[in-house]
Chains A and B, each alone.
Chain A
Amino acid sequence: MSRNEARSRSPFTRNSFPRLLAPWLLRDDHDNLLLYKCTYSELKYRVLSPVQAMILPFFSGERSYGNIRAIWLHLTKPSDKAASLTELDNLVWNLTEPDEIIGLFDPPSDSFKNKKKIPLPDFSNYRWPTERISVPVSVLVALTNRCVADCRYCYAERKLGEELSCAEWIAIFDELASQYIRIVDLAGADPFMRPDLFDLLRAMVDRDFTFSVSTKSHISPARARDLAELGIGLPGATDRGVQVSIDSVNNQLASWLTGVNNYLDRAKSTTANLIAAGINPRIKCVLTPYNWKEASQIVELFSSLGVRRFQFVQYGRSIYRHTDDLFLSGEQKLRLSESMPLLVSRYADSEIVFQDETGEVKSADQLQTAWQQRAICTGGRAALYVHPNGDVSLCEQLPHTPEHIVGNLLRQSLQEIWNGVAVDSFIHPDRSKFEGTVCRDCSEFDQCHCGCGYCYRDSLSAFGSVYDAPPTCPRQEKIPLRLV
């Protein structure tokens, strides 16, 4: 059935009870109603249109679609009821695909847990559409830049310096929670380098934050049980995960890539301890010319330990420690593109995510289309990054230098930073900053910066400045450094 055919009828029968599904949440931002996916693995959000905001709070799963249709007619008072109901059907179709936001069978959204506090829109000052949301959806926190490893492929700057105390972090967590921010994910280096990590994790769990703990440290059985007791990384959970890095089934190569002696054996022990504690870790692997043939062996070995989630990414240029020998060749990329789907089908009971990037040269039309459909840069529009000392920037990959800092959470409130001049001038820069680039006199300058924005990290990596068009911009004339 084609999409158009499907849409000629109602998305649900009148007797069915459609619901907003987990992990989607509604948030009352005072000047609009926000819908977002509360998970650490991806960031998706929508500022709801007024009519979406009007009807979506009724999709609690306790009202039949027939009842919701009656509510719709009651609230909209249309002159043509049939046309209006078709409009409702279309609106609901838009929330059933491509993202399954409304459905019938999966667990319901937590937004309806407290019947007295279902987020409702305030239409007296409703702002829609809007480029920026009133409060970030997601805040990345780097508890430390210290790491047990020194990976050859690491993208992080890892500038060592002062770190906030446990009490200071908890004060920041309180502030984020008071703003109804639920996605507070861990970034930076290895959080297990902090002796107070479990106090911090407990504070994050107590505030109902969604996050993932990524580590290369060895996790003992006791530490694994502590994680499990906090409900981190349990099977099926989308709100809190654990990630372990594995790059090779060859102990010598794994140690060479990570700079940690006996790395493979340590990682296997960590994984076994996590599994024994009831945790379902995700295995992350960075593919380089040194290990690109090992994907199936990694899946085989760690599947035998009980792992069911894998992610393979291709090496991408690090701003801080790059060497060209880490780039996959075109041939290797193509071979991976062919072999990885076979691996995915062979392990159908596992989740295997693969970054399928073949480096194929795009035509001018393809470049233009890809540019128009590019993902929004959420830095400053929906997300922030907090450095170990409380400094705030827009992206974890920008250098920790004054020109990239937009505030500090020890000295300023989140709202002061979010609505401050520094964030505004970063995401809406003056043309004069782009002297000598194609952006300087570009006719789409305002449209570009007020809409999706662009990838600061890519501009910086490819051309040495965030104030330049990224390589994916069709108007960019300079030859970029290779990024992936």
Chain B
Amino acid sequence: MSENLNGRRNFLKTALVSAGAVVGSLAARTVAHAQLTHDPMVREMWNRVRKSSISSHDEESATLCNKAACNPGCDSGCSGGCQASCKPGNK
């Protein structure tokens, strides 16, 4: 009898702890989500993103920009690169 009672108690205890954990986790997520949606910058960015085509998330665009938009810079010690802004010469 007492073993059964203890078993039930333990079962109830475990169930309560598990339920609490689930509720806690949900609550934490809700709080985190609320924090996100109340962050002015996140809201501003969301407003900008949702009006655009990138809300669907274009995987291609996550990669580095192509060479035409990515200047590798004057990395040759100014020997042969042609960059109006590097200090290429012999002054």
Chain A contacts to B: CB under 8 angstroms: 37, 41-52, 54, 57-58, 70-71, 74-78, 84, 87-88, 90-91, 94, 118, 120-124, 126, 128-131, 137-138, 140, 151, 153-156, 183, 185, 187, 212, 214, 245, 284, 286, 313-316, 318, 353-357, 373-380, 382-385, 394-397, 450-458, 470, 472, 483-484
Contacts and interface: CB of A to CB of B under 8 A. Distances in A.
Contacts of B62: 49, 51-52, 87-88, 90-91
Interface in B45-59: 45-46, 48-49, 51-55, 57-59
A71 B42 contact: yes
Given A316-B89, A376-B72, A377-B82, A128 B65 contact: yes
Given A51-B61, A214-B87, A121 B48 contact: yes
A87 B53 CA distance: 18
Nearest to A77: B55
Contacts of A379: 82-84
Nearest to B33: A74
Interface residues of B, number: 51
Contacts of B67: 376, 451-452
A397 B44 CA distance: 45
A454 B84 CA distance: 12
B85 A313 contact: no
B78 A313 contact: yes
B63 interface: yes
Given A70-B32, A451-B67, A43 B74 contact: yes
B68 interface: yes
B82 A454 contact: yes
A290 to B, nearest CB: 13
A212 B87 CA distance: 10
B80 A472 contact: yes
Contacts of A397: 88-89
A483 B80 contact: yes
B6 interface: no
A479 B73 CA distance: 28
A385 B52 CA distance: 36
